[in-house]
Structure 1
């Protein structure tokens, strides 16, 4: 379920990066501090009939955007990805999903550190699961929350 307040933001996020749109990545759940992203089997099929490893990696990186929007004040902060590691456990032969949840305490701590220091890292250990809820891949990621300065976002 996507909360009403996130409807427009979900559409914006799904269309923000052209390649993820072509991959068919969709946000299927979005509530405060929780998101679930779906990566469809097609068009992400590789030469052996499973989901392409790069598509799985992309889904693991992509979820950082929606969880940022569902958790932080996006008028004051912006995210960057610092590191992503993926471990492939089983071939993915169906649509897959990945979920991310941050607690209110985690969000407050990360945002507080970013306010004090200009930036703050947060880590997430996530699972990519097939339709049978079997873990296909493990994601370990580090994202960074940065303060939007008066001059705008630094590149």
Structure 2
């Protein structure tokens, strides 16, 4: 089973609200996560995507990127904060994407191993189907070691 399949199967139980919104991983590979959310069922009074849905698809990237990037048997992610800037109305399905360079992934893993946790910042870009940036986020997450 791929990381994408694992995430999409687990989101229903781990983050049921995101699942109900239709959030799905499209690409999950070490240092890279892309998730999609549909406009259908997620609109607001302006016929654009509801702001909370945009926030949700961006926020889940912090956990999604951890799945292929870190040993999840040893670590788990926690969100500390997320700041979002809404740029344009989203009138189509939205893709949210984030990346961590390989050297940063290694640093985070080493720090979490040594200290039991490591903080990292993850920027995300949300685009509509035409590639127009509808929002950007900056999230602060922690990778924490499971306690024995």
TM exceeding 0.5 = yes
Match 1:5 to one of 2, 6, 9: 2
Counterpart of 1:24 in structure 2 is: 22
**Structure 1 residue 119: Cα displacement:** 0.7
Q: Which runs of 5+ in 1 are unaligned?
A: 151-155
Normalised TM-score (structure 2):
0.94
Q: Which residue of 2 aligns with 1:96?
A: 94
CA deviation profile, 1:98-138 (whole Å, cap 9, x unmatched): 11222221111001111111111110111110001110001
Considering only aligned residues, what root-mean-square deviation do their CA atoms show, in Å? 1.3
More divergent stretch after superposition (25-34 vs 105-114): 25-34
Cα contact 2:4–2:25 (8 A) shared by 1: no
Runs of 4+ residues over 4 Å off in structure 1: none
Quick one: which of 140, 143, 146 aligns to 1:142? Answer: 140
> Could you tell me which residue of structure 1 aligns to residue 54 of structure 2?
56
TM-score w.r.t. length of structure 1? 0.90
Count of residue pairs brought into register by the alignment:
147
2:123 is matched with: 125
Deviation at 1:81, TM superposition (A): 0.1
